Structure 1
Amino acid sequence: MIAILARKIQNLQTNLKLKRTIKLVWSAAKGWMLFSVSMIIVETVLFLGSLYALKLLVDEISKINVHDPEAEYQIVKHVVIAGIFSILYSIARFVSAYAIEVQATKVSNFIDDRIHETAIQMDLSYYESPAYFDILKRAKDAGADRPNLVITTLLEITKNVLNLCAIGSLFIAINWLLLPLLIVFALPTLFVRIYFSNKQNEWRIKHTPLERKSGYLSNLLTSDISAKEIRSYNLGTYFKKLYLTFRMEILQQKLDLSYKRTSKEIITTGIGSIGFFTCIAYIALGTVSGTNSVGDIVMFLMIFPQSFNLIQYISSGISILYTNNIFINSIFELFDLKPSSSDQGFSREIPVRTEMDLIVKDLNFTYPGSDRPTLKNISLRIPLGKIIAIVGLNGAGKSTLIKLLCGLYKVDSGEISLGNININQFDVSTYRRQVSAVFQDFSRYNFSAEENIWFGNIDKEAVYQEIVKASENAGASSFIEKLPNGYKSMMGKLFEDGHEVSIGQWQKLAIARALYSEARFLILDEATSALDALAEKELFESFRKHIGNRAAVIISHRHSAVKHADYIYVLSGGQILQEGTDSDLLNMEGDYSKLFKENIEV
């Protein structure tokens, strides 16, 4: 029994992180928090003052002497005082509500910013983990307004407790047991609410994956990305039925939990009501027997219901406080995540010299959660001023190697060096600016064409001439200049006045973005897959001409994209099995000749 009670107390302490929540709100809006607390105190004082002023008015009326010339003045004076307190109390309530609203807005913005900041700092591996998306969803569902609700609820509880103490002190004149009895009768409902708050939280954590599945289906049904295929394959009805199946399962279980909670609360509330009327009967019978005076029963009937309501408000407030704290724990769960690829104190500056190669030596890598190596004993060199190609069948490990070169993952063993310095000794963000990649699944930003290119080097102010130059070298200027507002034209159809273009034109924008960067190493991962043969030829001719002191890594299944590379590495099964020039590899037995020799593109 003691062990069970200890576990429950431990569970309460784990879920009720008041101190951390208060610190969070303090960080977001300490000035407004102080002002809100002050206004709650002022509001409470004015409320009690107005009650006392009314008491003095009643006392003055009860002892009035109609023949006293000062009587009228005294009554008017107390009415004015009571009125002033009432007006000030109303003003304080409005000011307090405004302060709480401002505080809530600031806290909400602070939480949103922290969630976004945490998300962009996380390693790429988190975005390949369902557990991370479960945590992220729970944090978003918790709501950015809950931390502030905890503070305001705590203040409301405090205010109600003070009011209860002020009113309840009058019970002492009647019977000191009345107030403790009322509290005891209210406790069962409070325990039921806390119990089901825990159950709701357990259910929420357990069903987060199902919630995400239903959200995914909803996005499929409403997204512009999947709209064409859903209509082409007539998938809409199937996805809609599947979504409804998931939603009905979720809603039914929620309703079942709500039904159990409601039935238990009906019982405990009934117990509380029985206790309430039992106390009334006790006082009434005491009046009949002469134990209590008529004045006692009048005062009792005036303040007892109000006290009972205050106790109910306090009980409800504690339940709300506890429930909100449970949800806030999901926000803290996200904030407590740490990127595994932290800099570990290294912040070595990137050398300014130009004779730097990117060198991979004996690299091995296995994805987190997998026991099968993706890359084994990889060694290669990417010299500045040269074009290097990496070729291999699907699943050979090419995209994984690109992620490692971009600093998106840490290698398990071996190393990647920049100018003979291990890249782990550099600040991650600083190193990543040295490598600019056009990924296979490149992003299409619904911003202006100019901004789409500028995103390649957002750390410096946009230079229009350089943006145009990068666009021309990528072959994107020909269609951008035909848009109604040229480089100022909004891309995509997501927003008003947007212009949709072909996937090949989007790809040229992505290449222009990479060319606009100041990175020394450019990586094109199937970056010409959406271009026609002529556009690809023009791009690589321009690329070779303008590469300068940069290096380029080209990954492609097309011979036309890799044949002019200075050196080629062939990946197979996570290992480099062949390397050499195009002519060397065509004359060797292996994957390269199998891919290209029989059908060489001209």
Structure 2
Amino acid sequence: MRRRSPPPPPQARFLQIVANTPRLLRLVWDATPGVLVMTLTVTVAIALIPATLLYVNKLIVDHIITDIATPGVDWTPLLWLVGAGLSLMLAQSGLQQASSYLSQVLSDRFTLHANRVLLQQAIRLDLAHYELPAFYDTLSRAQQSGSSYPVRILDTLINLARQTITFAGLLGLLLSFHPLIVLLLVGASLPALWVGLRFSGVRFRLMRRQTQSGRLAEYLQKVLTTQEFVKEVRLYNLGDYLLGQWQEIRDRFNRELAEMASKQAWLRFGVGLMSTLGFYGAYAWVIVATLQQRVTIGDLTMYTSAFQQSQMLIQNILFSVALVYEYNLFVTQYFEFLNLEPEVVTPSHPVAFPTPMGEGLVLQNVGFTYPGASEPTLRDLNLSVKPGESIALVGMNGAGKTTLLKLLTRFYDISQGSITIDGVPLHAFDLTDLRRNVGVVFQDFSRYNLSVQDNIGFGDLAHHQDFDRIDKAAKDAGASGLIAKLDYGYQTILGKTFEESAELSGGQWQKVGLARAFMTPAQILILDEPTAALDAIAEFDLFQRFQELTRGKMTFLVSHRFSTVRMADRIIVLEHGTIREMGSHNDLMEKGGMYAEMFQLQASSYRDRV
């Protein structure tokens, strides 16, 4: 058994985590470089004011005490000093308002950019990622972390820079009194850093452990609040039960967070006492020095304010460091998602897809095993399909029909063998070019809650504003009649998500989905259960035009209705991932094998009903 390597020491873990900060800053720079530069400039200006203001106030106090001790008052220097103090205060107020504005703009632009980067990553990942539960944990963490924690780090880093510069200005005043005063104030505040770092890790591990339960709670909330589930929730009286499940998860989360917050509060109280004792030690020191006339009254006021501000700044700096560490823990989850790489990619030197196809499609000894599966879904498939030929795929559920179609669209790469078009392997084509030439209507086709025009036009995005092509595709799919009855025709929003929208029946949605497939200029057309939700009349109408609609296209048809299947040029019978039979409808019926048995079984069910 391999021994697990020991965890890195705390210092190494800290450096590993904060190492994400440069990458995050590059993201900020990419989002809005100009605003970032202005923000840093204003931050530096604000940070330099407090120490300068303390020194001006010290000069004012000393001047007043000198004037009290001597006859006559020289107002001119005092007025200049008061004016300087007023100017610094006004500048500080104005710069703080500018900082607040710039911070909001920077936050908004960066949040938009970070979410855009996340969505771009989601688009480029393989279909295989979306079929693994662990991926959704990673995606959920990235969405939660990427939406807020990068901005929190950014704000914290800006505050940390301002606090550090301000403390650097006060450091000269502290050192002018005595170098040991710095050690006293810093030493009294260091335990706060330990508490912050310790509970940062505890909070992160707690939130990460809650990911799956949190996704379950979100799913239960979706079940209770969306139209997709509302009928069954009411019919089976599931509302109170599912609400109880949701409440139990959320209550457990709250208890765990409250327990952690309680422990943290007690430790913070303890380190707060140490910090207070450190300040009063420094305060007593300067009082004694004043009574011994080693410093002036003005120095007393300046040093007292400097000690107080420095103590607060040291605590804030250390707290900000702990926050940067904590937020970076969460941002690692955002970068964990960005670090995922697709396996199905376009080659560096792609081959143009043949237009038109000459030889057609060839599968040689094709095998495929899903990631994480122990058994292959497809085994040793050999098949040649000519351009313009229509192929029907039949077989029991799980035989591999839809999997084969996913391989043709290169949602997955095959595990063995080869798939070629005109002698060129699929993986040699540009992915966009390949998928532009493969039009698909899957059984679980997408129903976009957008306009009818979008729902159909998405079949060929380059022409999704071409009304004539969209209208023709709708007519070909038998959808033009239902569209004409909608209030806004092709501009009607479908679904129930938005106002003034129209919901369609399952069969009507399927017609729209078919229209999207007929919109495509693809040379290969894949129809996965294209008539599953159509009534008998609509199905018959579609069959009457099927040959015309698919003329010149290589067509793959998956259907459990043998009235549909028999229209294909050849029928492929799949069983346990292998080709069991192949031939025309008449050939397979004469053979009396598996296809004939399934056909007669389905036909007998219709006869029995009659």
TM-score of the superposed pair, with normalisation by structure 2: 0.93
Q: CA separation in 1, counterparts of 2:176 and 2:570?
A: 98
* Offset at residue 389 of structure 1 (A): 0.4
Q: Which moved more, 1:43-52 or 1:416-425?
A: 43-52
Q: Give the share of equivalent positions with the same residue, in percent.
A: 32
Alignment-mate amino acid for residue 389 of structure 1:
A
* Offset at residue 507 of structure 1 (A): 0.5
Asked whether the 8 Å contact 1:556–1:562 carries over to 2, the reply is: yes
Q: CA separation in 1, counterparts of 2:59 and 2:601?
A: 106
Q: Classify 1:448/1:461 alpha carbon distance in 2 versus 1 (closer, same or farther; 3 Å).
A: closer
Alignment-mate amino acid for residue 308 of structure 2:
P
Q: CA separation in 2, counterparts of 1:351 and 1:559?
A: 33
* Offset at residue 227 of structure 1 (A): 1.7
**What are the superposed Cα offsets for residues 491-538 of structure 1, whole Å, 9 maximum, x if unpaired?**
111101000110100010000000001111111111210001221111
Q: CA separation in 2, counterparts of 1:195 and 1:182?
A: 22
Q: Which residue of 1 aligns with 2:27?
A: 24
Secondary structure class of the residue paired with 2:147 = coil
Q: Which residue of 1 aligns with 2:261?
A: 258
**What are the superposed Cα offsets for residues 227-273 of structure 1, whole Å, 9 maximum, x if unpaired?**
22222232222222222222222222222222222222222222222
Q: CA separation in 2, counterparts of 1:339 and 1:36?
A: 37
**What are the superposed Cα offsets for residues 302-328 of structure 1, whole Å, 9 maximum, x if unpaired?**
332222212222122112222111111
**What are the superposed Cα offsets for residues 443-493 of structure 1, whole Å, 9 maximum, x if unpaired?**
111111111100101133521111111101101111001111111111111
Decide which of 223, 228, 236 is 2:226's aligned counterpart.
Answer: 223
Q: CA separation in 1, counterparts of 2:301 and 2:346?
A: 73
Secondary structure class of the residue paired with 1:459 = helix
Asked whether the 8 Å contact 1:492–1:499 carries over to 2, the reply is: yes
Q: CA separation in 2, counterparts of 1:5 and 1:510?
A: 53
* Offset at residue 283 of structure 1 (A): 4.9
Asked whether the 8 Å contact 1:356–1:418 carries over to 2, the reply is: yes
Asked whether the 8 Å contact 1:446–1:494 carries over to 2, the reply is: yes
Q: Which residue of 1 aligns with 2:9?
A: 7
Secondary structure class of the residue paired with 2:316 = helix
Q: Which residue of 1 aligns with 2:597?
A: 594
Decide which of 466, 478, 501 is 1:463's aligned counterpart.
Answer: 466
Decide which of 161, 165, 175 is 1:162's aligned counterpart.
Answer: 165
Secondary structure class of the residue paired with 2:179 = coil
Decide which of 144, 148, 163 is 2:147's aligned counterpart.
Answer: 144
Q: Which moved more, 1:333-342 or 1:175-184?
A: 175-184
Alignment-mate amino acid for residue 21 of structure 1:
L
Q: Which residue of 2 aligns with 1:416?
A: 419
Q: Classify 1:501/1:437 alpha carbon distance in 2 versus 1 (closer, same or farther; 3 Å).
A: same
Q: Which residue of 1 aligns with 2:181?
A: 178
* Offset at residue 338 of structure 1 (A): 0.6
Secondary structure class of the residue paired with 2:381 = strand
Gapped regions of structure 1 (runs ≥ 5): none
1:84-99 equivalent positions in 2, closer than 5 A: 84-99=87-102
Q: CA separation in 2, counterparts of 1:254 and 1:414?
A: 53
1:50-65 equivalent positions in 2, closer than 5 A: 50-64=53-67
Alignment-mate amino acid for residue 537 of structure 1:
F
Alignment-mate amino acid for residue 247 of structure 1:
R
* Offset at residue 6 of structure 1 (A): 5.7
Asked whether the 8 Å contact 1:25–1:148 carries over to 2, the reply is: no
Asked whether the 8 Å contact 1:174–1:296 carries over to 2, the reply is: no
* Offset at residue 550 of structure 1 (A): 1.0
Within the alignment, does 1:127 sit opposite 2:130 as a pair? yes
TM-score of the superposed pair, with normalisation by structure 1: 0.94
Gapped regions of structure 2 (runs ≥ 5): none
1:294-305 equivalent positions in 2, closer than 5 A: 297-305=300-308
Asked whether the 8 Å contact 1:346–1:424 carries over to 2, the reply is: no
Alignment-mate amino acid for residue 435 of structure 2:
R
Q: CA separation in 2, counterparts of 1:509 and 1:354?
A: 28
Asked whether the 8 Å contact 1:586–1:597 carries over to 2, the reply is: no
Q: Which residue of 2 aligns with 1:442?
A: 445
RMSD: 2.4
Asked whether the 8 Å contact 2:55–2:302 carries over to 1, the reply is: no
* Offset at residue 151 of structure 1 (A): 3.1
Q: Classify 1:145/1:241 alpha carbon distance in 2 versus 1 (closer, same or farther; 3 Å).
A: closer
Asked whether the 8 Å contact 1:473–1:543 carries over to 2, the reply is: no
Q: Which residue of 2 aligns with 1:324?
A: 327
Asked whether the 8 Å contact 2:54–2:302 carries over to 1, the reply is: no
* Offset at residue 296 of structure 1 (A): 5.9
Within the alignment, does 1:431 sit opposite 2:414 as a pair? no
Q: Which residue of 1 aligns with 2:520?
A: 517
What number of residue pairs does the alignment pair up? 599
* Offset at residue 577 of structure 1 (A): 0.4
Q: Which residue of 2 aligns with 1:367?
A: 370
Q: CA separation in 1, counterparts of 2:547 and 2:245?
A: 51
* Offset at residue 96 of structure 1 (A): 1.8
Q: CA separation in 1, counterparts of 2:347 and 2:465?
A: 33
Within the alignment, does 1:355 sit opposite 2:358 as a pair? yes
Decide which of 261, 268, 271 is 2:271's aligned counterpart.
Answer: 268
Q: Which residue of 1 aligns with 2:104?
A: 101
Asked whether the 8 Å contact 2:192–2:315 carries over to 1, the reply is: no
Q: CA separation in 1, counterparts of 2:231 and 2:418?
A: 44
Asked whether the 8 Å contact 1:47–1:86 carries over to 2, the reply is: no
Q: CA separation in 1, counterparts of 2:487 and 2:229?
A: 28
Q: CA separation in 2, counterparts of 1:283 and 1:80?
A: 28
Within the alignment, does 1:204 sit opposite 2:207 as a pair? yes
Q: CA separation in 2, counterparts of 1:495 and 1:298?
A: 64
Q: CA separation in 2, counterparts of 1:5 and 1:580?
A: 62
* Offset at residue 87 of structure 1 (A): 1.6
